Amino acid sequence: MEDNHLKRGLSSRQVQMIALGGTIGVGLFMGASSTIKWTGPSAIFAYLVAGLFLYLVMRAMGELVYLYPTTGSFANYASDYLHPVAGYLTAWSNIFQWIVVGMSEVIAVGQYMQFWWPELPTWIPGVIVIVTLAAANLTSVKAFGEFEFWFAMIKVVTIILMIVAGFGLIFFGLGNHGNAIGLGNLTEHGGFFPKGIVGFFFALSMVVGSYQGVELIGITAGETKDPQKNIKKAVNGVIWRILIFYLGAIFVIVTVYPWDELGSVGSPFVATFAKVGITIAAGLINFVVITAAMSGCNSGIFSSSRMVYTLAQKGQMPKIFTKVMKTGVPFFAVLAISIGIFLGVILNIVLPLIIDGSENIFVYVYSASILPGMVPWFMILLSHIQFRRNHADELKDHPFKMPGAPFTNYITLGFFTLVLIGMLFNGETRVSVIIGIVFLLIMGIIYFLRGYHKVDRGEY
């Protein structure tokens, strides 16, 4: 152990891939079929709408981070511009979100490894993944960044290949004896909105959930070289790449296959590759999904450990979590989060004994992260409104202003509120929202019972 300060070890290419990889994860590879089930071909529009609102969140965060790049940035901003309890709840929401996501990813790895080794106990790959990623995160922030860079690269290349293959099928008949599929599947099976506005509305909650992680670059701000330049570049570049990859992948899926037949083709990613003659498609996509799951777990360890570190700096967690190794890594914070995610392995063993249908374990665990994952977005938008009031002079020459603020802040806040209301009305997502609300209430009560509101403000 050296001092209690983190080091700026992340390069520009790593920051951009971290933001990209944190968002394009298992939610897309495993969740696309569920979203399409709710709304049909209009899933394309759902991903577009949600993506544009997330872009506004990113721009609001970019404006804040450009002036004040700190570790645990959006928890700091919530504390400084709203109220210390807002920062506390934001930090804990992020910790809860990423531990839960990490657990779900560990469960997913165990399940997908059984593709090659059906008799392999699912807890064995889970333990290997946790130990490997914990070691990478404990080595240095640069090692974490390099792992995440290559994890993200695998996902990005796979999606690009899938889009290219899909376009070949749709427009040139590649793999379909030269008969172009065309665009008929977008409208011939009940129309573009076959489930109406209600189905589209319900699908939005699943789509928004799949974008979780896009705010991760806000946490990297304190450990990024030349943060102003790199954060600005990452915010501007990543959101458009995400939109292209998500929209491109969903467009191919609902155009190549009738949306109401997707349940019978298995993974649409596997089916698309197989259709153009890539016979190892199933094994290839299985490998990619495993790397996607490892990427999510890797991001979870990094993100939530930094929030533990910043809470400890504020005196709201044991001081031992502020200890930083010579390599600039908060050792005990990373270790604690890794152990927390290890509970996912335990869940993988215990839940099948309690709940019928072990194939649903991933959904049960992952869905609990949706509301806590949205809390940082709300806090970023609200903090940004107050930030603009407090720093009017500094904003005159600010080179990275959020478009249309504060009007766009209020519109985006309204959109996310509507999504949450829709989730409460949807039986498949209601429980996850209730879990999130209960969690926030419990943490709020703990904040006041422990007297944290009596402590002077300080950085998260």
Whole-structure pTM value = 0.87
pLDDT digits (tens, 9 = 90+) for 304-321: 898 898 889 888 899 999
Distance of alpha carbon 77 from alpha carbon 410, whole angstroms? 18
% residues pLDDT > 70 (the chain)? 85
pLDDT band at 458 (very low <50, low <70, confident <90, very high): very low
Q: Tell me, yes or no, whether 459 lies in a domain.
A: no
Distance of alpha carbon 368 from alpha carbon 302, whole angstroms? 20
% residues pLDDT > 90 (the chain)? 25
**What type of residue sits at position 194?**
P
Distance of alpha carbon 150 from alpha carbon 152, whole angstroms? 5
The reported pLDDT for the residue numbered 219 is 65
Lowest-confidence segment of 23-37, 87-101, 195-209 by average pLDDT:
23-37
pLDDT digits (tens, 9 = 90+) for 386-413: 999 988 888 777 778 888 989 999 999 9
Contact 202, 38 (CB under 8 A): yes
Mean pLDDT of the region 16-35 = 69
pLDDT band at 275 (very low <50, low <70, confident <90, very high): confident
Contact 336, 308 (CB under 8 A): yes
* Opening angle at CA 317, ends 312 and 321, nearest 5: 50
Distance of alpha carbon 122 from alpha carbon 133, whole angstroms? 17
pLDDT band at 7 (very low <50, low <70, confident <90, very high): low
Mean pLDDT of the region 267-285 = 75
Q: Tell me, yes or no, whether 4 lies in a domain.
A: no
Q: Tell me, yes or no, whether 78 lies in a domain.
A: yes
Q: Tell me, yes or no, whether 7 lies in a domain.
A: no
Closest of 363, 352, 341 to residue 432, by C-alpha: 363
Structure tokens at 242: 């995400």
pLDDT band at 2 (very low <50, low <70, confident <90, very high): low
The reported pLDDT for the residue numbered 130 is 92
Distance of alpha carbon 218 from alpha carbon 69, whole angstroms? 8
Distance of alpha carbon 92 from alpha carbon 258, whole angstroms? 42
3-state SS assignment for residue 245:
helix
- Looking at residue 202, which CATH number applies to its domain? 1.20.1740.10
For 415, the domain range is 12-454
Q: Tell me, yes or no, whether 6 lies in a domain.
A: no
Q: Tell me, yes or no, whether 237 lies in a domain.
A: yes
Average pLDDT over the chain, rounded to whole? Answer: 82
Q: Which of 16-25, 56-65, 249-258, 437-446 has the highest mean pLDDT?
A: 437-446
DSSP state of 10: B
Helical H runs in 173-262?
196-210, 216-220, 227-256
The reported pLDDT for the residue numbered 5 is 60
Q: Tell me, yes or no, whether 5 lies in a domain.
A: no
pLDDT digits (tens, 9 = 90+) for 88-113: 999 999 899 888 888 878 877 887 88
pLDDT band at 460 (very low <50, low <70, confident <90, very high): very low
Looking at the 3D structure of the chain, how many domains does it have?
1
Residue where the block lists tokens 């829709």: 422
Distance of alpha carbon 290 from alpha carbon 292, whole angstroms? 5
3-state SS assignment for residue 224:
strand
Mean pLDDT of the region 355-364 = 58
Q: Tell me, yes or no, whether 460 lies in a domain.
A: no
